[in-house]
Amino acid sequence: MATTSPYRTFIQDISASSTGEVLLRGWVYRLRVLGKTSFIILRDCSGVAQCVAATEAVQDYRLKVEDVVEVRGVARADRRSKVGFEIHILTLRMLNRAGQVLPFRSADNVEGIGLETLLHFRPLALRTESVGDVFRIQAALLSCFRDALNRRRFTEIVTSKIVSGGTEGGSNLFEIKYFERVAYLAQSPQFYKEQSVAGFERVYETGHVYRAEPHASSRHLTEYYSLDVEFGFIEGPEDVIQLERELLTDIFQSLNSRHGETLSKYRGEPLPSMLEAPCWEFSSCLEMLRSNYGRTDLVDDLDPEGERQLCELAKRESGFPALFVLGFPLSARPFYTAPRGAEGAASSFDLLFQGIEITTGGQRLHRREDLEAALLSRSIDPTTFESHLEMFELGMPPHGGFAIGLERLTCQVLNLPNVRQAVLYPRDRDRLTP
């Protein structure tokens, strides 16, 4: 792989048998002065190398940890080194000094550092191993998600996030001043991904969605990244559930094999196969919550405690704490949801994973007349949605899909307690910077 600076060497590309000069650029990660010898542990995006020089030769640079430097040197085999070599410094160049007072250092264990500090000083936090890992794993999740769908004939789509109205009736929308008009930030690409199914049959999108959530909990954000999937020619919601099982299994297997070492720092066991994740009816779930936990307060939805309890039950039964809950009450789901039987249940499911809902999905209505009837039964004037409804006359297959919140998925994969730990620059009720 060509590097853009022809003389710059990535640390990972050096070995004990490297000959000739190398030109390294990176951050001072650690610094040790042992009398006449100074050790500069240098870090770049590819790894860490110990660089050695006579103290006399480098002391004028007044090096500090986090300083940005260039080292010209020679690799020498060294059996004491983990990587098998160290770099003897020929010349050193200061590229940019770090500040005198830093809130923490990139070599620190940041477990004891508050989330506010880690969010405020994002660049430095990213340079620590544990915060950096979160976003490297997140990037891998994204990449595996797209790969797994590309392999299954899905087409990636990009749809507008500026919309003229909500997909679910209009609450929790952020308002935009759009020239002389009012527009809104999209809560979901739902309508656009359904329409795209009528074009491409199988589509996905990775992009931001927006919810003007007035509460700032450990699991809510006003802006999150949604992994959206929608596909046509399904028989029922079970097809959608099965695709998600296979997809997550693919993603988890890739993560286990490519990032197993990183994962082992965050979780005791590798990520599970989801192929055997059970699917329980919502009504049975309520019954089980009643008989196992005395819950009599849940009616048309689950709550965070119920989600945890169901995952406990699933773990007891199937060995790992994940399950699909299918058949939520139709009245509690959006108008475009297909019914399940005649008893008021919906062909709609949640995936609960390690105690928290990470997906909502289901089969959608695909006939214009059914959508109109659903809107009328909710006392919504169908003409409000005319520009969407007319798309159902262009040849719309039976279809369904789901959406995974990337931040929540990252949290569950890495056992992070607060969703803000899985966002570079989180947005909530109170947070608009950095």
Minimum Å gap between C-beta 175 and a second copy is 4
- Encoded tokens for 203: 């589509």
Q: Is 201 in the site for a second copy (CB under 8 A)?
A: yes
Among 116, 284, 378, 425, binds a second copy (CB under 8 A): 425
Comparison of 196 and 309: residue with beta carbon closer to a second copy: 196
Cis peptide before 434 (omega within 30 of 0): yes
Looking at 125-133, 298-306, 329-337, 342-350, which segment touches a second copy (CB under 8 A)?
125-133
Residue 183 or 302 with smaller CB distance to a second copy: 183
Q: Please, where are the H alpha helices in 155-236? A: 190-200
- For the bound state, the minimum distance from the C-beta of residue 265 to a second copy, rounded and expressed in Å, comes to 18
Provide DSSP, 264-297. HHH-SSPPPP-TT--EEEHHHHHHHHHHHH----
Q: Shortest gap between Cβ of 100 and a second copy (angstroms)?
A: 9
Report the site for a second copy in 267-296 (rule: CB under 8 A): none
Question: Of the listed pieces 321-329, 356-364, 413-421, 425-433, which binds a second copy according to CB under 8 A?
Answer: 425-433
Q: For residues 62-121, which are near a second copy according to CB under 8 A? A: 66-68, 70, 95-96, 98-99, 102, 106, 121
Q: Does 424 bind a second copy (CB under 8 A)?
A: yes
Q: What is the DSSP string of 101-132?
A: --SS-TTS-GGGS-HHHHHHTHHHHHHSHHHH
Q: Which of residues 35-64 bind a second copy (CB under 8 A)?
A: 44-46
Burial class from Cβ neighbours inside 10 Å (0-12, 13-18, 19+) for residue 343 reads: exposed
- Minimum Å gap between C-beta 305 and a second copy is 28
Instruction: Report residue 415 as tokens.
Output: 């056992």
Nearer to a second copy, 30 or 152 (CB): 152
* In the complex, least distance from residue 161 CB atom to a second copy, rounded to whole angstroms: 6
Binding to a second copy (CB under 8 A): which residues in 343-402?
366-367, 387-388, 391, 393-398
What are the angstrom distances between the C-alpha of 174 and each of 165, 166, 185, 212?
Answer: 10, 10, 6, 6
* Member of 40, 163, 248, 277 binding a second copy (CB under 8 A): 163
Query: Which are the contacts of 232, defined by CB distance < 8 A and separation ≥ 6?
Result: 197, 198, 201, 202, 396, 397, 398, 399
| The one segment of 76-84, 200-208, 255-263, 293-301 that binds a second copy by CB under 8 A | 200-208
**Cα separation, 77 vs 83, whole angstroms:** 9
Residues linked to residue 88 through DSSP beta bridges, in sequence order: 52, 74
- Binding residue (CB under 8 A) for a second copy from 36, 79, 181, 215: 181
Count the residues of the shown chain that bind a second copy, applying the rule CB under 8 A: 109
Nearer Cβ to a second copy (285/423): 423
Place of tokens 């660049």: 123
Identify residues 206-225 at the interface with a second copy (CB under 8 A).
207-208, 210, 212, 214, 222-223, 225
Pick between residue 148 and residue 285 the one whose CB is nearest to a second copy. 148
**Rounded Cα distance, 91 and 266, in Å:** 39
Q: Quick count: other Cβ atoms within 10 Å of Cβ 4?
A: 5
3-class secondary structure, 192: helix
Q: What residues contact residue 409 under an 8 Å CB cut-off, 6+ apart?
A: 141, 227, 353, 358
Asked if 415 contacts 199 with a C-beta cutoff of 8 angstroms, the reply is no
Measured from the CB atom, the residue of 122 and 295 that comes closer to a second copy is 122
Minimum gap (Å) between residue 243 Cβ and a second copy: 4
Structure tokens at 337: 């949801």
Residue 433 contacts a second copy per CB under 8 A: yes
For residues 222 and 337, which CB has a smaller minimum distance to a second copy in the complex? Answer: 222
Tell me how far apart the alpha carbons of residues 320 and 354 are, in angstroms, rounded to a whole number: 8
Residue 138 near a second copy by CB under 8 A: yes
Tokens of 253: 């297997």
> Under a CB-based contact definition with an 8 Å cutoff, are residues 11 and 26 in contact?
yes
Binding mask 240-269 toward a second copy (x if CB under 8 A, else -) reads x-xx--x-----------------------
**Is residue 155 near a second copy by the rule CB under 8 A?**
yes
Q: Residue from 14, 51, 166, 202 that binds a second copy (CB under 8 A)?
A: 202
Please, what is the end-to-end C-alpha distance for the chain in angstroms?
35
State which of residues 42, 51, 73, 192 lies at the interface with a second copy (CB under 8 A). 192
Q: Of 110, 124, 248, 411, which lies in the binding site for a second copy, with binding defined by CB under 8 A?
A: 124
